[in-house]
Structure 1
Amino acid sequence: MPKESSNQNVIAKTLAVLRAFTDKQMEWGVTELARYLEVPVSSLHRILKTLRGENILQVSPESGKYKFGPEMVRMASIISAKVDIKSVARPFLERLSETVDESVYLALYHSQHKKLSFVDCVHGSKALQYVLEIGVLQPVHIAASGKVILAHMEPAEVAKVLEQEGIDEEGRQKISAELERIRIQGYAMTANERKVGALSIGAPLFDASQKVIGSLICVIPVNSFDETKKDLLVLRVKEEAAGISRALGFSAQTLPF
């Protein structure tokens, strides 16, 4: 085998090893990893030795299995801190808008304000498109864009949001029941909440820390919504939201839908 081809093969196998740790599980024994990757134990040993030497991987003293080492954690932290979420999400927004031919928005949650804002959008080709304000702080407890975020927050954070918005006990109980349904189904659909005449379907976005950070929503005029296309719209929104989450480092195996 030519040297260049051999080097490419080693690189491909090394990347497959790293993907196994990020996409499948966080710790691996040598034999189970070799079986999973369908590679000889001997060649896997060489790759693991190299990665361990660079502190990309280390052996857990508790389990005796391989796991990410300090150098991998350091690099991942730097990358995560510098990720431009809008740039990562943009191709997914464009594809979703082209697929459903409707307005698509990216919303991010701002924990310091207990609010969300729409930070990017892509419009379809139809004449009537609902326009939401970009960059303006808005309540999180209304509409699909916010409720799907609340549904995946820690209870303590939800309580702070609702307290800030002045929601009474009866209102909290009603919202709590709605959030539970949203969490189970993995999406939210609302109409006439943030904007009169607009129906929105939203799915949550997660980052590498496994926390909800925002939502992806499709906004449709209520009077032109085709109920027969609901399932397809929901599927497409959830697929693209999951794609953004994976691109941001969220583990697909822990997606709650």
Structure 2
Amino acid sequence: MRKTACTATLVALVLAAPASGQTVPTRASLDACHTGAAPLDRFAVFSGQMGTVPGTKRMQVRFDLLQRAAGGTGFRRIQAQGLGVWRSSVPGIDIFRYHKQVANLAAPGQYRALVGFRWLGDGGRVLQQAVRRTRTCKQPDLRADLAIGPLTAERAGTGKLAYTVIVRNDGRTATPTFGVGFAVGDQAQPPQTVQPLAAGEQRALTFVAPRCDASEPVRVTLDPDLAVDEANEGNNTRTIPCPLSG
């Protein structure tokens, strides 16, 4: 259940082409959208392309990254080094293409770039401006997600019950080995070790422990040692009413 901070890192590449005698569209593109469980595996590559207009001495592009977080209703700008900066072409070219890679994207989330274009004339005078928006790069959360399933119990001798609890991995990647804690009221039992669970897999664990009742419910705790990096950390502990009555 380790938390990983997500910050953007940027890599830029400039490509300039000589005059070709053809009209070059002004456009912004999403060239690549790579997903992954680890932050550094999640990145997007955006590009902007423009051609000269009459009187152009230099061309410029600017990339702003927009993010819509999980549950959000709209996109917002992300502040990071290398974003929101005008990048200039060298003089004397007719086509200017600029590629920007944005890595370490947080998940889940959606990302797109707002690309600005400027054409500069003599003395840096702005001749024309334009803005284009790229397609969206969707980053699902591919981490594991432990969850506690149903609990059943049956008698196992005087004052004892055999409790069986289902442990699931509702996430999209396998877990490492992790522990499961179990308690009846304030009586903690020896934890059990669960070998790696594949995505979508579940496993039944049985604990023989003192009999529960209405005043002493059962408490199950998954991964108390924080061995699993999870998509949802809020469902790893559950207090369950005694499954047997009478």
Q: TM-score, normalised by structure 2?
A: 0.25
Larger RCO: Structure 1 or Structure 2 (Cα < 8 Å, ≥ 6 residues apart)? 2
Q: Write 1 or 2 for the structure with the bigger share of strand.
A: 2
